[in-house]
Amino acid sequence: MGKSYGLIEITGVTAAVDALDIMCKAAEVTLATWERKLGGRLVTIIVEGDVAAVTAAVEAAAHAIKPLVASGVIANPHEEIVGLVKRSSSRFMTASIEAGVEAENPAGGMLSEESYLQEV
């Protein structure tokens, strides 16, 4: 199976961390990146893995966390989507380094769950 992305958009950083925990425990997915908007009131979590794992992870989080703003799965993403996620990830990594956080980057530009949780 090819790479796919799962997206969860939720209100609040605490709920987003909870959703990420549920997704990572439900299936073999890793955090690709995350985005905060409106001062952290709206958070988008993007995980990656194979299609079945990402689908299971998104469904698990969608059933466990309420209210959910939006969710989706992108199977076999277009190269523009992959680039968009990588740019988002690199912005987060740059902000972490500037803040003095030594976050390991084992996935070649993509974030691990541990580095995300260190920053939060």
Q: What is the pLDDT of residues 34-85, one digit of tens each?
A: 998 887 789 999 999 999 999 999 999 999 988 899 999 999 999 999 999 9
CA distance between the termini of the chain: 32
Domain count, the chain: 2
Look at the pTM and tell me if it is higher than 0.85: no
Both 60 and 104 in a single domain? no
CATH number of the domain at 40, please: 3.30.70.1710
Both 12 and 51 in a single domain? yes
Both 68 and 29 in a single domain? yes
> For residue 110, is it within any domain?
yes
Both 59 and 14 in a single domain? yes
> For residue 120, is it within any domain?
no
Q: Which domain holds residue 105?
A: 79-115
26-30 mean pLDDT: 96
Could you read off the pLDDT of 76-117 as tens digits, one per residue? 999 999 999 998 888 766 665 666 655 444 444 444 545 444
Q: Which residues does 34 contact at the CB level (< 8 Å), separation at least 6?
A: 16, 20, 43, 44, 45, 46, 92, 111, 116
Both 62 and 8 in a single domain? yes
